[in-house]
Structure 1
Amino acid sequence: MDRAGYGEVEPTNAVKARVGTVLFMAIFLFFWISINPFVDLTGEAVLDPSAGNSNRLNQIISLLLFTGMLGCGLVHPLREAILQPRALLAILFSWFIFVSLVSAHPMLGIKGAILALMVTVNASVYLLLPASERHFAKMLAIGILIMLAVAYYGIVFKPQLAIHQASELREPMNAGLWRGHFPHKNSAAAAMVIAAFIGLYVMNTWSRFAGIVIVALSFVFLVNTGGKTSTAMLPAILLLALIFEKVRFLRIPIAVGGVGLFNLFAVGSAVFAPLGDFISGLGIDATFTNRADIWRFAFGALAEQPLTGYGFKAFWQTEELVYSGGSVETWAVAAANGHNSYLDIALMTGFPGLALTLIWILFLPLRKIARIAPEREHSHLTRLFVRIWLYTIFNAGLESLFFEGGSLLWFTFMVALYGLSLQSSAELAAAPARARQGRVAHA
């Protein structure tokens, strides 16, 4: 039976459908391609701590998109779904503001928190825009195909900007690895994993041909990024998601236990020498591609301020850290981030901030998944959201992505969180009129 989209129960008029489509695609392309693709990594600006600051055009477009999304959300019948769970998020962002105010860089934290809140609102409205599941799948397919076209265009026509070069100042060792229009090979690899998940979904819900093309192109690009972790995680997450879906009693061990063990073996190997020796004995790089120095440095810094951290967005790439000279004897001071989302959020907002974040992104989704009705539990849409969720919480053990305002992976992850929430409370579109007053979403 057909279900209503993450939109109204009754058919929307043509104007609303067009506005929803335009906003959906605009947000998608803004995150997946950005307004500044093909960044030159050979210039000295990449070593400047302030180089990553948003330019004025990016800020204007972000505000316009946020205004449009908020406007659509507020006039939508399901507007109560926006920015849920509000009580938890109010506490979470209030804590971020507090730790920023008492930090050495309050404005960095306040701006970062506002941007993160805007992106969260956008993600909570995003799934209210499609008119149906087929419409949703079609727009995803078109967006991903455009993204892939831009990425491959760069490889063919802009190789100096789309393929890592030996002349790059920060990581010349990546020479020859594909990054497309993304700023780094790891960003490209993560994007291609998500694109492959979307391709599988499209193949089963809209167009088998388009889905196969997306999966094939994404996989070829993924392999050429040299992202070994993401390449290995693609089949691993597909298998893990299957087990997660079929074997209910293993869900908590997979999500909570799996993330805990992954971080123990990864970050723990950098801090505890015996564990590092054990990891090396298994034939695994115990430094996790030179991340160990960063993690040791981060742990030392966290031990000095475990309660409030150093302020939201106020540790890595700050001037006093990058230009610390001989006062800090490790190259890790120049790192762009901590290469571990859990460690980074603790470093910036203390252990209370980490606890609140884990409740939102790990424990609440488990609760929502447990409440999904049997007929939707094994749907292609639920499967897509679970795959994205699992990949992100595991990938976060090796990359920093939590609350990154411009990150397509963080935005897509939040969309998956809200998707799982909607799936847990979805109702049939053909339900009686009294059900139309409730929360309706397609499954």
Structure 2
Amino acid sequence: MAVPIVARRAAGTPATVRTRKTAAPAPSRFAGVGTWLYATFVGAIIAFYSGARIRLSSSDETLMGGSDPLNTLITLVLLLGGTIVLLRHARRFVPTILPMLPFVLMLAVMLASASWSYSPENTVRRTVTMTALLLFALCSQVTLGPERWMRIALRAMVAAAVLSLLEAALRPAIGFDVGEYANAVRGLYSQKNAFGQALLAGALALSYGVLARGRLRLADGAAILFLLVVLVLSRSTTSLLLTLMVSGVTVVVIALGTGGAVRIATAIMLLVGTVTAALILFAVPTEALLDLIGKDASFTGRTAVWEAVNQAIALRPLTGYGYAAFWLEGSSNLLRVWDYVAWDVLSAHSGYLEVRLQLGLLGTLLVWCLGGVTVLLAMRAAWLGKHRIAAWALLLIGTMAILNRSESVLLGADLMTAYWVFAVLVLAGVSRAGRDSGVPGLNGPGLR
């Protein structure tokens, strides 16, 4: 490091400045270890929120009303650690107040629903769990930065996939699903679709990394190929198709940004592909399309579940039954659904119906507002010239919109919600080229 030294000068002559080299302070040998431990901790929490668990038996599946000691411990650790980080670095988090307001409002509505909830205690407990997730997402992203956070998320999902394959190989009674999907790998997850959603989350993390870099690498191809192979083994059709969509859109966005003949060829192929897909959808009967992707007209029994849930919603359309207060073990509401569908369903298998069931019309309006804010921020980012971050955010919203047609992943304390927080924070940090966004940890090289 250079220290300025003002030389002696004679009267009437300007002062000259010379520098003297001094030894820079030696970096602490524990700094690298601490950073690695923190990144490992963040990766473990990401895997936890993706649904990964070490189960002792194949029947370790908990209803919303159940209490998970591990979840309680992690929630307490995240609340305590997140609060300490916020207090110690309060000034760094001031710029995140505005983009986090929609999620704070969501928490307020969840907590308020305890006043009309069928299980106030469970509603409050699950709201606290959601608070811990949002605090974790905020603190870890601001301290690590968006690109590094997503790299950790990708590695966590790949590690969870590898461990899931080992689980299926070493403990097949636990690592494989049950019933008609007994040959589907579920690994560390409660069932095959949960495993598929975790792999889809890995594909979204990979997509962010590719778009941030602006080019494809051989390692990216190997990673997506691995995720697709495992998705086939999990037999999670929806997540497989969405992963293919995420991969395709990512490649197209990269290609359109290269310019020249590549951009023209990509645009032509995109147009031809869109027209062809539209013709197929209109020309091929619905039953044939469902058979092609391995589905039946009832969407694997989901239509009966949707009918039963709609009947329950009709009884409390405005406020719902309270956040996380419907799927409670032994409740009369749950038993009526089970009697109707003739199997022990554990969710509405639709994020939209799940929100209406728990928070009624109020919750539905909140979700639409959150989605609208995200889309507006993405449009603003595109207007400011950051097309790749806008494309990734819209890809995330589109993926969630499709996924929630058949799975309940809206307003849940899970990885997709953390991704949503991630997208809003990054979009809020977008500014014109050469200007500081003012959001700590979200500046510097990134998506353009």
TM-score (norm 2): 0.73
CA distance in 1, matches of 2:198, 2:221: 17
8 Å Cα contact 1:141-1:210 kept in structure 2: no
Taking a change above 3 Å as real, the CA distance of residues 81 and 73 of structure 1, as seen in their structure-2 partners, is farther
Deviation at 1:81, TM superposition (A): 4.2
State yes or no: 1:371 paired with 2:380: yes
Q: State the AA in 2 paired with 1:295.
A: W
Deviates more, 1:23-32 or 1:238-247: 238-247
Report the structure number with the largest CA radius of gyration.
2
Paired position in structure 2 for 1:289: 300
Paired position in structure 2 for 1:177: 184
Deviation at 1:51, TM superposition (A): 7.7
State yes or no: 1:111 paired with 2:121: no
State yes or no: 1:314 paired with 2:321: no
Taking a change above 3 Å as real, the CA distance of residues 59 and 141 of structure 1, as seen in their structure-2 partners, is same
> How many residues are matched?
382
Deviation at 1:112, TM superposition (A): 1.3
Deviation at 1:145, TM superposition (A): 3.8
TM-score (norm 1): 0.74
Paired position in structure 2 for 1:262: none
Paired position in structure 2 for 1:25: 40
Deviations 1:301-355 (A, max 9, x none): 1111111111111112342237747x97413683201011111111111111110
Deviations 1:127-178 (A, max 9, x none): 2122584x456534543443333223223333332222xxx4xxx1110101
Residue segments in structure 2 that go unaligned for 5+ positions in a row: 1-26, 258-284
Paired position in structure 1 for 2:400: 392
8 Å Cα contact 1:100-1:110 kept in structure 2: yes
Paired position in structure 1 for 2:24: none
Paired position in structure 1 for 2:169: 156
Residue segments in structure 1 that go unaligned for 5+ positions in a row: 1-12, 248-277
Taking a change above 3 Å as real, the CA distance of residues 372 and 18 of structure 1, as seen in their structure-2 partners, is farther
Taking a change above 3 Å as real, the CA distance of residues 302 and 50 of structure 1, as seen in their structure-2 partners, is closer
CA distance in 2, matches of 1:438, 1:129: 11
Q: State the AA in 2 paired with 1:336.
A: L
Any residues of structure 2 matched to 1:341-380 within 5 Å, and which? 341-360=351-370, 362-372=371-381, 377-379=386-388
Taking a change above 3 Å as real, the CA distance of residues 441 and 281 of structure 1, as seen in their structure-2 partners, is same
CA distance in 1, matches of 2:390, 2:379: 12
Deviations 1:349-399 (A, max 9, x none): 111111012211x101111111115675234x5554443332122201111
Paired position in structure 1 for 2:23: none
Paired position in structure 1 for 2:10: none
Q: SS where residue 25 of structure 1 aligns?
A: helix
CA distance in 1, matches of 2:325, 2:406: 20
Taking a change above 3 Å as real, the CA distance of residues 426 and 410 of structure 1, as seen in their structure-2 partners, is farther
State yes or no: 1:339 paired with 2:349: yes
Q: State the AA in 2 paired with 1:143.
A: A
Residue identity over aligned pairs, in percent, reads 17
State yes or no: 1:63 paired with 2:70: no
State yes or no: 1:441 paired with 2:443: yes
Q: SS where residue 144 of structure 2 aligns?
A: coil
Across the aligned residues of Structure 1 and Structure 2, the Cα RMSD in angstroms comes to 3.7
Paired position in structure 1 for 2:159: 146
From 304, 307, 313, the counterpart of 1:302: 313
Paired position in structure 2 for 1:260: none
Q: Which runs of 4+ in 1 moved over 6 A?
A: 13-18, 241-247
CA distance in 1, matches of 2:82, 2:432: 22
